[in-house]
Chain A
Amino acid sequence: MEILQAFKYTRKDTLIDRLDPRTKFIISTSLTLTSLLCFSITIQTILLLITLLLVFVSKRMIQWIKSLKGLTVLVALIFILNLISMPGFDVLYSSIMALRFLVITASFSLFFLTTTPDDLAAALEEIKVPREYSLLFTLSFRFVPTLASDVEIISDALKSRGFELEKGGFIQRIKNYAYLLIPLIVYEIRRSLMIAEALEARAFGATKKPTRITKLDMSIYDYTLIIIFLVIPLILYHIASIYP
């Protein structure tokens, strides 16, 4: 569950938090796109450093490092799979792929760590996403902590009946998790049906354009950062094409 920590919003008041969600989205997308377009270890490292700098400015370094605990397994898996599946045992190639994964997760965890679900919904509606879908988005975020606590309760219940989740080899452990997933899925489906009913009972969808409480507005910082993060990929892409 440590991975989820990287995407859980916590309230803080930093420069990054005060940015418009659209700006943050552009920053994260810009970092991700550059990472996908440039195939160079230097560029990937620079991107990771820029992202971490932003994470540092937003004062969420500890949270990000904590989430690394869960991410390292995936990073290692990406590295190893690339290493054995690509011809010629290409360490450089595998490292780039692993770094790319880190850049993408870090840039989007920056976005999710610093954006309230409400802001997110407002931003989505601002770019004309229908309310049904923006609500889908905010609701799923609202449920991340709930899901995490459900996982905990279910695994406690399993353990209390003498079941050892962490026992056995790799394959056995994956099988063990089926015991956890069945009640979890059934429970969450039931819960979502209940929420759907509750939403309808409270007149969800009665008007096409409901009143919004949070209003978005861009400041000078937003415009500056948007320009910076539109220029950075161009520069990096240019460098990458000159020095591959």
Chain B
Amino acid sequence: MDTPIIRVENVHYRYPSGIEALKGVSLEIYPGEFIAIMGENGSGKTTLIKHFNGVLKPSKGHVVVKGIDTGETSVAELSKIVGIVFQNPDHQLFAENVLEEIAFPLKNFGFSEDFIKRRVEWALKIMDLEKYSNKSPYMLSIGERKRLTIAAVLAYDPEVIVLDEPTAGQDYLQKEKISEIMNLLRLAGKTVVVVTHDVEFVVEHIDRVILMSNGHIIADGKTPEILSRIELIRKTRILPPQITRLAYLLYTKNIISTKYFIKTDEIIGTLLEILKDKKEEMR
């Protein structure tokens, strides 16, 4: 197996206020993986992702990114590898116009002017923000601002991209755009970590789900495996996908023989077969 790009070793984190947000978290993230971190509010998800680029340093344990211990490197250095898009765009935007906003990290990393120009243009195009390039970030709508924060991270091309609640408060069209970005990132071979409550989004894009509760990881596995365990995910106050709930219902009524469904087309196939059999019987 490959060497992990991020390795979290028994990390504990206590906020200065005394709240212990992480209580011994261990986890390995491999290149090219698409991971979702899910769990109820206050379970430690955001605290955990803030460890990936060293914004938070563990109180106990280690976080190693590409062989570098986050305790020994600056956040700026690690941010080149791990790009985090925070939840609220209003906490991140400050530049005079959209162009400057995207160029900001590139300038911090000391890239050449020419390179910066090309990258900014690319990011604007990919996020469908070209027409706003000279506008103030604060004039954009919430969905556009969200996309701008994503563009600002994609522009400097980090290997790992961490998105905190990318679909929260977004309408269908915005969600579709974020979906497109996910597909694009997969093609580019990036590693993606998403913090989310949106199960439908997870079903569509994510390979591996990590469930957190009360500062611990309580489950870690392939998406269908985790999401079809209704009791488990209810514990983390996530609503299972509608398909899983339907499958569960049909299973308890003895209509289908397994309850592990997360995708619509899978259950459609099974149901069609059952209907066909019934039709045969009726003849």
Contacts and interface: CB of A to CB of B under 8 A. Distances in A.
B92 A159 contact: no
A162 interface: yes
A161 B91 contact: no
B90 A187 contact: yes
A164 B91 CA distance: 17
Closest 8 CB pairs of A and B: A162-B108, A161-B105, A182-B94, A159-B75, A157-B92, A162-B76, A183-B94, A156-B55
B79 A183 contact: no
B152 interface: yes
A8 B273 CA distance: 66
B86 A156 contact: yes
A162 B109 contact: yes
A157 B88 CA distance: 10
B215 interface: no
A56 interface: no
Interface in B58-107: 74-76, 79-80, 83-84, 86, 88, 90-94, 104-105
A10 B203 CA distance: 44
B65 to A, nearest CB: 13
A153 B86 contact: yes
Nearest to A167: B76
Interface string A118-159: 000000000000000000000000000000001001101111
B142 to A, nearest CB: 11
A183 B90 contact: yes
A190 interface: yes
A150, A159, A186: residue with the most chain B Cβ atoms closer than 10 Å: A159
Interface in B114-167: 138, 152-153, 156
Interface size band for B: 20 to 34
A219 interface: no
A183 B93 contact: yes
Contacts of B152: 161
B105 A190 contact: no
A160 interface: yes
B6 to A, nearest CB: 15
B53 A160 contact: yes
13 contacts: A153-B88, A156-B56, A160-B55, A160-B79, A160-B86, A162-B75, A162-B79, A164-B75, A182-B94, A183-B93, A186-B90, A186-B138, A190-B90
A179 interface: yes
B235 interface: no
Interface of A: 150, 153-154, 156-164, 179, 182-183, 186-187, 190
Contacts of B105: 161-163
Interface of B: 50, 53, 55-56, 74-76, 79-80, 83-84, 86, 88, 90-94, 104-105, 108-109, 138, 152-153, 156
Given A157-B86, A162-B105, A183 B91 contact: yes
Q: Which DSSP category, helix, strand, loop or mixed, fits chain A's interface?
A: helix
Contacts of B53: 160
Contacts of A150: 91
A179 B83 CA distance: 19
Given A153-B86, A156-B50, A163 B93 contact: no
Contacts of B83: 160
Nearest to B86: A157
B119 to A, nearest CB: 14
A164 B153 CA distance: 16
Contacts of A158: 92
A153, A157, A163: residue with the most chain B Cβ atoms closer than 10 Å: A157
